[in-house]
Amino acid sequence: MLTRVLALSRYFTVVAVLGILLASMALLMYEAVVVVVGLVNVVNTASSGEIYPKLAKMLAVAVIEAVDIFLIAIVAQMIGLGLYRLFVDPELPLPAWLKIRDLDDLKNNLVSSVIAVLSVLFLREAVGWDGQRDLLHFGGALALIIIALTIYLVAKGRSD
């Protein structure tokens, strides 16, 4: 009896999966609205006679910020699908590039995605740099984190 209850407890993971997928969808929808509103603002600003370089920079920063949020939402979706495949339905058809055989695969995907998000974060700051903030220290801190995460991925790859 206890063995059956423990075996069925893996389905509680569905709560986490649903929460993660709902959060992912909410982020995707929210950012889609932000993109539309941002484009409307750019068009309105352009029609008011704003100078082109400032407008182009404003649009570039908005696009980079949108990419950052979309990446986070997609990573959340990948994690939700991966957890579902690991704990509930190992036959869930996923794209070939999303290989989830165990929890380590899911963590490696998460770490790789965090590296991409941190890179986009730096790019956003660099494009929007106004000369006031210390971009070198910010970039250096991000680089140290990215290096540490890359070392983790390489070490995990060697131990497999």
Residues lower than pLDDT 70 in the chain: 48-51, 158-160
The per-residue pLDDT for 51 is: 67
Radius of gyration of the chain measured on its C-alpha atoms: 20
Q: What angle do CA 107, 110, 115 make, to 5 degrees?
A: 130
Instruction: Name residue, tokens 């140290």.
Output: 144
In this prediction, residue 99 carries a pLDDT of 80
Domain count, the chain: 1
- Convert the pLDDT of each residue in 38-47 to its tens digit: 888 877 877 7
Half-sphere exposure (CA, 13 Å, Cβ side) for 25?
Answer: 8
In this predicted structure, what is the pLDDT of residue 50? 62
Give me the percent of the chain exceeding a pLDDT of 70. Answer: 95
What is the residue range of 154's domain? 2-159
pLDDT for position 97 = 84
